[in-house]
Structure 1
Amino acid sequence: MPSQQPQISDLPAITTYLTGHNHTGKAIVEETRPANWTVYDNEEMAFNVAYTTSQFPANLNGNTDIKTHDKVTSSGKLGLVNPNGTVCRTVDFAPGFECMMHRTQSLDYGIVIAGEIELVLDSGERQLMKPGDIAVQRATMHSWKNPSESMWARMTFVLQDCEKLVVGGEVLGEDHGRGTEGLPMSGN
């Protein structure tokens, strides 16, 4: 079962800055939010959900998007993907850790922020990624491995809901794999 706790890695702390407008229409930083980590796999992987949207295009009027984000994240029902929306999530990986082989029904942009990460595909293919590299993950069965024996690695992901993927007449749906007990299925 995942647990909420402070950051477990030695990487820099994360803060999310939500912008908005003052009464004259000028841009302001409306809110500052420290990271809220959920820990998995014996404290070898941690998630921080920076933001979600629940419709496209997003509705920013009257802070509808912020209210909806807060409702989604406090519900305890957010899976890896938010149906009809997006999820911006940072993931920290312990040295030597490889997360579960999994598939999300989504189009994801995964950006390496710190350290190195290996993208591992179910075909056996591996791709080493360095800071600044981006994986466009298109509903494939994959895992992420931190090849370092001593340094934590960090990636930021933007997951976008997608149409059901059909390959060879078979629908390839969401599959969380091991180690995510307590993480709800996305239901998309």
Structure 2
Amino acid sequence: MALSGNLSRPKRFITTHDEEGKAIIDSTLPEDLPFTEVPSKVVNLSTCYVTEGFPTVLEDGKDVAVYQQHLADPPGLTVSNGTVIRYVDIRPGAEPLMHRTVSLDYGVVVEGEVELILDSGETRILRRGDMCVQRATMHAWRNVSSTEWARVLFVLQPVQPHVVAGKEVTEELGKIDGIRPST
């Protein structure tokens, strides 16, 4: 897939140990991260790493194998028993898509400026280095620029069932096409 406008192609380096116990770079997977364009062409996504289970099992590369499975069969936005780290590249002028993940998400703006839009109508502009702790609320992201792509790095982790206003919160993908429900 083509790069998102002027944004660089990030690399992922996974460390491991050699037979002597020294830290080395694992060469199981390519360093270049794969990006996928969602059918609406609003965002490009790169699932940088996925884990399952708490705590994560590193023995015999089990965590790398879990990630490889998720590369072959991508997860929904979240994984109910693990973590997801993902780049989201947002097209300039793209319509913000209101949605909710049932997770605790850390979002850090890496490039550009984005507007966080909440279903209450409250908004905030986040610039490079700013972060949002997203707590299973209905929200959308809008790239403030009409000419340049923006990139946000998200780390998503599952949460216990969460009740708001007497109703259990559920995942709502809204108009986000090409993303399957989380499991």
TM bin, normalised by shorter chain, reads over 0.9
Is residue 126 from structure 1 mapped to residue 111 from structure 2 by the alignment?
A: no
CA RMSD after TM alignment: 1.3
2:132 is aligned to 135
Aligned in 2, Cα 1:120/1:41: closer, same or farther, shift over 3 Å? farther
1:23 is aligned to 19
SS at match of 1:101: coil
Identity score, percent: 39
Per-residue deviation, residues 138-166 of structure 1 (Å, max 9, x unmatched) = 00000000011111100000000111210
SS at match of 1:92: strand
1:151 is aligned to 148
State whether residues 4 and 149 of structure 2, in contact with CA within 8 Å, keep that contact through their aligned partners in structure 1: no
Figure out how many residues of one structure are paired with residues of the other and give that number.
181
Whole-Å Cα distance in 2 between the matches of residues 116 and 183 of structure 1?
24
Q: What is the TM-score normalised by the length of structure 2?
A: 0.94
Q: What is the TM-score normalised by the length of structure 1?
A: 0.92
1:55 is aligned to 53
Whole-Å Cα distance in 1 between the matches of residues 61 and 146 of structure 2?
44
Structure 1, unaligned runs of 5 or more: none
Aligned in 2, Cα 1:127/1:41: closer, same or farther, shift over 3 Å? farther
2:44 is aligned to 46
**Greater share of residues in strand:** 1
Is residue 111 from structure 1 mapped to residue 111 from structure 2 by the alignment?
A: no
Whole-Å Cα distance in 1 between the matches of residues 111 and 70 of structure 2?
28
SS at match of 2:41: coil
Whole-Å Cα distance in 2 between the matches of residues 144 and 136 of structure 1?
13
**Letter aligned with residue 19 of structure 2:** H
Whole-Å Cα distance in 2 between the matches of residues 22 and 102 of structure 1?
43
1:6 is aligned to 2
